Structure 1
Amino acid sequence: MIGLKLPSRKRARDEAEKPFWISFSDLMTALMVLFLVSVTVALFAITQKPDEVAKQQAQRERDIQELLNQIAEAAKEYPGIVVNGHAIDFGSRANFASNSSVLNDVQAATLRAFVPKILSKVRDPLGKKWLKRIVVEGFADQRGTYIHNLNLSLQRSERVLCVLLASPQSVSNALSDVDRLQVRELFLVGGSSFNGLKASLEESRRIELKLEFMELGEDRPIPRDAPLDDAPCPLDK
């Protein structure tokens, strides 16, 4: 009798025991390749980031210089007002009498005419992007004590804000409400005593506007939400 040849059980068992995963050496090779790719990508990102920051910083400086150039161009209409770096020196257009914080009518009118030109640049794209605040610094000559001159410098700075924030009811050439609000949001008072002396006593008794700019990635301060008021200048009480 011819019998049927049955399949080998050993072969079936060998097939069942055949592994379904890659070998350990292949797994380690794949992991090593993945690690090297990750390290390469990380190193590329690290080396590229300083270059990108440097480009952004250079663009920031170009933007700020362009904004300063625009303000300097506007200042040409007012001989005596000069843009030096990030400072606007009003020179003889806002000199003070000895031991005084009073500006005469002509000086006040000049401030009210010129500052809106600065504010118009502030509302342009470059100004919105980079200008952070404007610090009003008053200066005194070297006579008198340090504390007295420091107080006098602060009063001179405050006088500038009083001139700019004067209401339409009190002066005929008042700033618009939009400009007055922006002055209140952007301008700060500073005092420098007699640390910035000029060639003469009269030239030293002056005011400057110092422009401060945003840094890369810096968040703009949120202005307080409050209506304008028409309170009189405290220096006149």
Structure 2
Amino acid sequence: MSIISKKGDSNHWISFSDVMTGLMVIFMFIAISYMLEAQKKQDERDEIFKEFKQTKEDLYNELNDEFKNDFQEWKVVLDKDLSIKFINPDVLFKAGQSTIPYKFSNLLDDFLPRYFNILLKDTFRDKIAEIRIEGHTDMTPTNSWEIPYIGNLKLSQMRSASVMNQFISSPFYSSLLAKDRSWLQFNLTANGMSYGKTLDADKGFTYDTKNPVNKTFSRRVEFRIVTTSDKVVEKVLEEINNKK
């Protein structure tokens, strides 16, 4: 009896051992599969960030090569974030007004065709999600009967719309192919920013630097490019933050 019992126990333990081995193999494959999937996602993220950086650099270099001499004369700032800031008070809008002054109008006639000729290139077209014309003000209220931020928001919106109107009314825009005009209508926007993004004396955002507002630099018009990679990077960062 004891021999038979021991033999049965041995078969039982062999069977249990086989089950455990099988489970370990399954868990190992699950772990490997998970690691491969994680590595795939990381590779995709790395590729996105690589494309994001390369697109920014290529656009910056094209714009800089085209305008570097003019920007010095015009007192215009091209930043690495692909924003172009027109900050020369001698040519910009008069206080409280949204009519484009003569000097600024002439400058835009020179700038706009060359700027959009770059952005309409096949090299960049598919990598651009939005082109923003932004109007910015300092913190001086435009009138006494509105909330200052809202009054300045309306003024900055009218200024950006005035710039948009000059572009849409230009011979250059009229000469574009229908598909190019359609693309611009979809991607080009005019935005009033009020005094939400005032600048300091070093042209940095006062929200970040905590430095005093420079009224001259804060009263400006900006052209800003948002790339398709910007949108994807935002999504990736959001996913990473949600996992924390």
Coarse TM-score class (shorter-chain normalised): 0.5 to 0.7
CA–CA distance in structure 2, aligned partners of residues 167 and 71 of structure 1: 21
Is 1:187 aligned to 2:184, yes or no?
no
The residue type equivalent to 1:140 in the other structure is: T
C-alpha displacement of 1:191: 1.3
Superposed CA deviations along residues 141-163 of structure 1, whole A, max 9, x for unmatched, are 32213222111111111011001
Larger radius of gyration: 1
Normalised to the residue count of structure 2, the TM-score between the two structures is 0.64
- For structure 2, list consecutive stretches of 5 or more residues without a partner in the other structure: 1-14, 142-147, 202-213, 235-244
Aligned equivalent of 2:100: 103
**Among residues 205, 224, 230, which one is paired with 1:210 in the alignment?**
224
- 1:183 & 1:40 partners in 2: Cα distance? 48
Which residue is equivalent to 1:62? Answer: 54
Gaps of 5+ in 1: 1-23, 219-237
Structure 2 counterpart of 1:133, one-letter code: E
**Distance in 1 between the 2:157 and 2:61 partners?**
28
CA distance, structure 2, for counterparts of residue 202 and residue 217 of structure 1:
33
Cα 1:73–1:118 shift into 2, 3 Å? same
Deviation digits for residues 68-110 of structure 1 (CA, Å, limit 9, x no counterpart): 2222322214222221223111222851111111113332232
Instruction: Note closer, same or farther for the CA distance 1:217–1:206 as it changes in structure 2 (3 Å cut).
Output: closer
TM-score, normalized by length of structure 1?
0.65
Identity of aligned residues (%): 21
C-alpha distance after superposition, 1:115-172 (max 9, x if no partner): 333323323354233210012111123221322211111111101100100054xxxx
Q: Which amino acid aligns with 1:207?
A: V
Please give the residue correspondences for 1:160-179 in structure 2 after superposition, counting only pairs within 5 Å: 160-168=163-171, 176-178=175-177
Question: 3-state SS of the aligned residue for 2:138?
Answer: coil
Match of 2:133 in 1: 136
Residues 165 and 180, structure 1, Cα contact 8 Å, conserved in 2: no
Contact 1:140 1:193 in 2 (8 A): yes
Instruction: Spell out the pairing of 1:1-237 with structure 2 (5 A cutoff).
Output: 35=26, 38-39=29-30, 41-59=32-50, 60-79=52-71, 80-84=75-79, 85-92=81-88, 95-144=92-141, 145-168=148-171, 176-178=175-177, 180-195=181-196, 196-197=198-199, 199=201, 201-214=215-228, 215-216=231-232
Distance 1:180 1:164 in 2: 11
Residues paired across the two proteins, number? 192
Whose helix proportion is higher, 1 or 2? 2
Instruction: Give the Cα separation in 1 of the matches to 2:220 and 2:82.
Output: 16
Distance 1:146 1:46, change over 3 A: same
Q: 1:35 to 1:206 in 2, by over 3 A?
A: same
Amino acid at match of 1:124: K
Q: Would the aligned equivalents of 1:95 and 1:203 in 2 still touch at CA under 8 Å?
A: no
- Report the CA distance shift for 1:109/1:33 in structure 2 as closer, same or farther (over 3 A): same
Q: SS state of the match for residue 190, structure 2?
A: strand
SS at match of 1:63: helix
Question: CA 1:30–1:197 in 2, change beyond 3 Å: closer, same or farther?
Answer: closer
CA–CA separation in structure 2 for the residues paired with 1:174 and 1:139: 25
Q: Deviations over 1:10-66 (max 9, x none)?
A: xxxxxxxxxxxxxx99x9699668736742541342231243123213312222222
| Contact kept? 1:95, 1:206, Cα under 8 Å | yes
